[in-house]
Amino acid sequence: MSQPSLERYTLMQLMELDACTRCGECVEWCPTFTEKRERDAITPLRKIETVRGFVRKQYGLLARLFGPRAIDDEKMKEHSGGTYDCTLCGRCGTVCPVHIDTRSLWIAMRESLVDQNVYPETFDHLRETVTTRYNISGDVNDDRLIWSENLPEIPEGVAGKEQAEVVYFVGCVASFYPRSYSVPQSMVEIFDQAGVDFLTLGGEEWCCGFPLVIAGMGDAAIEVMRHNLEALRRTGAKRLVAACPSCYHTWKHDYPRILGESLDVEVLHATEMLEEIVVEGGIELKPFKRPVTYHDPCDLGRTSGVYEAPRNLIRAIPEIIFEEMEHNREHSLCCGGGGDVEMADKDLTAAVAGRRVEEAAATEAKVILSACQQCERTLAEAARKARIRVRAMDVAELIARQMVR
Amino acid sequence: MTIEAAETIFWVVHLPLMGFFLIGMVMVLSIWFKGGDRRSLGDMGQGSVAARVGLWIKAFVTEAWFNRRLWRTNFWRWLNHFLLLTGFMLLMTLSGISALSDKVLLHFFPLEHVAWITMWVTPDHPITGLLNEVGGVMMTVGFLFFLIRRYVSPPSQLRTGPMDTWMIIGLGVILLSGWVAEVVRLNSSHVGPTAYVAFVGYPLSLLFRGLPLPWDSLQAWMYVIHGLLTSIVIVTIPFSKFMHVIAGALVTMVREIEEEAGEHTGLQKGAARVTA
């Protein structure tokens, strides 16, 4: 086992390790620890304390005087387990009194763990799949538009254009998981109805790299990022729209940072684009008289700061009854589907999602809306398991359904 | 022991201890600077140097000192933090001004007639006495809240480890020795007519005044003991949880400035060192 390098951490992150006051505020807000109270290694507080201990052993005063001390393999494995059982929801960061940017810190920890070869084996499979099949499911990448095959009419933008104003980046989950097909179907129907000049990249769309970045394997994501950026530039598009919050966040924040260049393209989440279409009168909506609630996807809300666009969209639907859940916006509960946790621990994801669905049911909503295919999938599964009669749905699906054609 | 002898002992031990403290801080900084993305903190914020300094001061006051996020999250924890930090900063500032006045201004310049300088080396001066008392009381009340939260009614998320215990012991011995030193001083023959401004220490000193103790000699001893205990705790700052006082303040200030400049906006931007 190699020794931890500090190169994976920024100056600020190393400062943050010392800034933690061990107040435990983060522990109370951690959705995975809530479900696994026996696993103290999951807690933000313990992760920071452990890494600080490693740093001191390797670089502290005693290490300088007498040489670095070895790190216990078991402790390292335990830390790795805790770090990879985190959904990266970032909720801990919103309550930290010293403003520690926890999500970034957890990713840096994962990068360091990958360097030391102490990470769940399943992530090797993920890396290989994304870098050789160019999607997360391992399907043939040229089948990316399979969701469009049962559309009553395939818009020209789906497969017939090489240049357009807007690129719709579909994302792996919506492209390859049948349960999510209705999201891209809804998106292109809305675009078509509103007269948006758009196209999709088809087989030229590769995984955005997000799963690798958050797995701590961001180095492996550079190739797919470069490919996607080149594919985007060939279209001459001015805007890129992603319905997946993780793709959106990666394009908007990680591409410029990791590739070290400005994209010169406006990156929008689907809800931002749809809000614009609805506000400008691009489509007309029919009334929807059922109570709904909205679940903030972590990568859209806390991580990207988009809270109001989906809410404005929902409120734009005539006669809709919209109730917020107890925890909303930056304090929203996680659905459990983030951080690649499901790859390592399906039960944990299910437990976290179950808690969110219960909160949705408490609002008496019949529909739990979200703006993320992964959230929709985990919430729907949790509702089914708990036999709670609430339907999980993407905002785009509801907009398409209520659209006057 | 005379006060002069006590002072000599204090400085002879205190200065090497502060040397160790500085070595510890250099070590911590050298660890921080092993990290990537070493953006100069001086480059942060926008506008002129004066504007940036203003921004840093504002960030310090609103986030590090007042800590708005803690205020919104938990009032009792905020009060605990505010009392401890404000009391600590007040006492440290008064100690600094006192040392500056005594060892520099009055030592090198003929300023004995300037009242607003001599007042800082006169513990019973109404302003100095009152400010020191307010600082001590704030820290003590904050410390008691801290003890109650950690040991009497701890919330479920709290974990108490050796680092926390050392912090409590460190703060506890400083506060306790400080109050003992205060009581001893107020019972010595060096006390002026306005000693009553020490609104807690003075009534406390009256309780012990009848004891047959060598107050003047004890005053010198307590000066050394309290001063050196404080120095010992300061030496441990870079190696203990006390470091959060410095690192936490810096992190909150940087975040606030980033958010003001629209560079962070509460977003968490992902990995650290992956670059093409």
pLDDT over threshold 90, residue A28: no
Nearest CA in chain B to A34: B157
Contact B270, A259 (CB under 8 A): no
pLDDT mean over A247-274: 95
**Could you tell me the sign of the dihedral formed by the alpha carbons of B116, B120, B125, B130, in that order?**
positive
What superfamily does domain A284-402 belong to in CATH? AF0625-like (3.40.50.10700)
Contact B240, B163 (CB under 8 A): yes
Q: Flag if A222 and B276 touch (Cβ within 8 Å).
A: yes
Domains of chain B, each with CATH number or no CATH: 3-25+48-260 (1.20.950)
Q: Flag if A254 and B270 touch (Cβ within 8 Å).
A: yes
Question: Which one, of B71, B111, B64, lies nearest residue B88 by Cα?
Answer: B64
How would you write A160-203 as a 3-class SS string? CCCCCCEEEECCHHHHHCHHHCHHHHHHHHHHHHHCCCEECCHH
Q: Flag if A93 and B272 touch (Cβ within 8 Å).
A: no
Question: Which one, of B137, B134, B138, B98, lies nearest residue B118 by Cα?
Answer: B98
B35, with CB counted inside 10 A (0-12, 13-18, 19+), is buried
Contact A209, A224 (CB under 8 A): yes
Residue B83 exposure: Cα atoms within 13 Å on the Cβ side:
18
Q: Flag if B73 and A95 touch (Cβ within 8 Å).
A: yes
Q: Comparing A148 with B41, which gets the higher pLDDT?
A: A148
pLDDT of res. B269? 44
pLDDT of res. B274? 53
Contact A351, A333 (CB under 8 A): no
Residue A291: what residue type? P
Nearest-CA distance from B90 to chain A in Å? 21
pLDDT digits (tens, 9 = 90+) for A156-172: 999 889 999 999 999 99
Q: Which CATH number fits domain A11-115: 1.10.287.1770, 1.10.260.30, 1.10.1060.10, 1.20.1260.10?
A: 1.10.1060.10
pLDDT mean over A135-155: 94
pLDDT over threshold 50, residue A49: yes
Instruction: Count other Cβ atoms within 10 Å, centred on residue B260.
Output: 16
**Sequence-ordered list of residues with C-beta below 8 angstroms from that of A145, at least 6 positions apart, any chain:** A158, A159, A175, A200, A202
Spans of chain B below 70 pLDDT: 37-47, 262-276
Nearest-CA distance from B242 to chain A in Å? 9
pLDDT of res. B36? 77
Q: Flag if A7 and B270 touch (Cβ within 8 Å).
A: no
Phi-psi region of A319 (alpha: psi -120 to 50; beta: other; left: phi over 0): left
Residue of A13, A222, A225 lying closest to B272 (CB–CB):
A13
Residue B105: what residue type? L
Q: Flag if B31 and A28 touch (Cβ within 8 Å).
A: no
CA-CA distance, A90 to A113, in Å (whole number)?
19
CA-CA distance, A401 to B5, in Å (whole number)?
87
Residue of A17, A21, A30, A111 for testing the chain B interface, max B β-carbons within 10 Å: A21
Nearest CA in chain B to A29: B157
To the nearest 10°, the Cα dihedral for A224, A229, A235, A241? 90
**Sequence-ordered list of residues with C-beta below 8 angstroms from that of A121, at least 6 positions apart, any chain:** none
Q: Report the run of H or E that residue A392 belongs to, with start and end.
A: strand A391-394
Chain A residues with beta carbon closer than 8 angstroms to that of B81: 97
Nearest CA in chain B to A246: B270
pLDDT of res. B270? 42
pLDDT of res. A3? 66
CA-CA distance, A105 to A10, in Å (whole number)?
9
B43 and A CB contact within 8 Å: no
Which of B 99-128 lie inside 8 A of A, CB atoms? none
pLDDT of res. B268? 45
The DSSP result for A39-98, as a single string, is -GGGSHHHHHHHHHHHHHHHHSHHHHHH-PPPPPHHHHHHHHHHHHT-----HHHHH-TT
Six-digit token pair at A133?
């099949």
Q: Flag if A226 and B276 touch (Cβ within 8 Å).
A: yes
B39 and A CB contact within 8 Å: yes
CA-CA distance, B159 to B136, in Å (whole number)?
27
Domain A127-276 has CATH 2.40.50.140: no
Q: Report the run of H or E that residue A271 belongs to, with start and end.
A: helix A270-279
pLDDT of res. A39? 83
| Residue spans of alpha helices (H) in B101-214 | 106-108, 115-118, 126-147, 162-186, 201-208
Residue with tokens 């924890």: B77
The DSSP result for A206-268, as a single string, is ---SHHHHHTT-HHHHHHHHHHHHHHHHHTT-SEEEESSHHHHHIIIIIHHHHH-S---SEEE
Nearest CA in chain A to B20: A61
A-B CB pairs within 8 A amount to 186
pLDDT digits (tens, 9 = 90+) for A311-362: 999 999 999 999 999 999 999 999 998 877 888 788 889 999 999 999 999 9
Residue with tokens 């001590």: B136
pLDDT of res. B191? 81
Q: Flag if A257 and B269 touch (Cβ within 8 Å).
A: yes
CA-CA distance, A310 to A276, in Å (whole number)?
11
Which of B 183-242 lie inside 8 A of A, CB atoms? 239, 241
The distance from CA A369 to its chain's CA centroid, rounded to whole angstroms, is: 16
Nearest CA in chain A to B265: A305
CA-CA distance, A25 to B167, in Å (whole number)?
19
**Helices (H) and strands (E) in chain B — how many of each?**
11, 0
Q: In what order do the strands lie in the sheet with A198-199?
A: A198-199, A166-169, A239-242, A266-269
Residue with tokens 């201890």: B17
pLDDT of res. B276? 53
**Could you tell me the sign of the dihedral formed by the alpha carbons of B102, B106, B112, B115, in that order?**
negative
Contact A53, B240 (CB under 8 A): no
Give the percent of chain A with pLDDT over 90: 85
Q: Flag if A9 and B74 touch (Cβ within 8 Å).
A: no
B21 and A CB contact within 8 Å: no
Question: Which one, of A343, A347, A335, lies nearest residue A378 by Cα?
Answer: A335
Range with lowest mean pLDDT among A76-80, A250-254, A260-264, B41-45: B41-45
Q: Report the run of H or E that residue A293 belongs to, with start and end.
A: strand A291-294
Residue of A11, A23, A93 lying closest to B35 (CB–CB):
A11
Residue A121: what residue type? E
Six-digit token pair at A213?
């970045």
pLDDT mean over A64-92: 92
Nearest CA in chain B to A102: B268
CA-CA distance, B62 to A52, in Å (whole number)?
28
Chain B residues with beta carbon closer than 8 angstroms to that of A23: 77, 158
Nearest-CA distance from A58 to chain B in Å? 10
Domain ranges of chain A: 11-115, 127-276, 284-402
**Sequence-ordered list of residues with C-beta below 8 angstroms from that of B110, at least 6 positions apart, any chain:** none
Chain B residues with beta carbon closer than 8 angstroms to that of A25: 73-74, 77, 157
Residue of A3, A20, A23, A58 for testing the chain B interface, max B β-carbons within 10 Å: A23
To the nearest 10°, the Cα dihedral for B40, B45, B51, B56? -70
Q: Flag if B270 and A107 touch (Cβ within 8 Å).
A: yes
Q: What is the mean pLDDT of chain A?
A: 93
pLDDT over threshold 90, residue A105: yes
Nearest-CA distance from A101 to chain B in Å? 6
**Triad A107, A111, A114: Cα angle to 5°:** 135
Residue of A17, A22, A104 for testing the chain B interface, max B β-carbons within 10 Å: A22
B173, with CB counted inside 10 A (0-12, 13-18, 19+), is middle
Asked if A127-276 and A284-402 have one fold, the answer is: yes
Q: Flag if A23 and B77 touch (Cβ within 8 Å).
A: yes
Residue of A5, A9, A11 for testing the chain B interface, max B β-carbons within 10 Å: A11
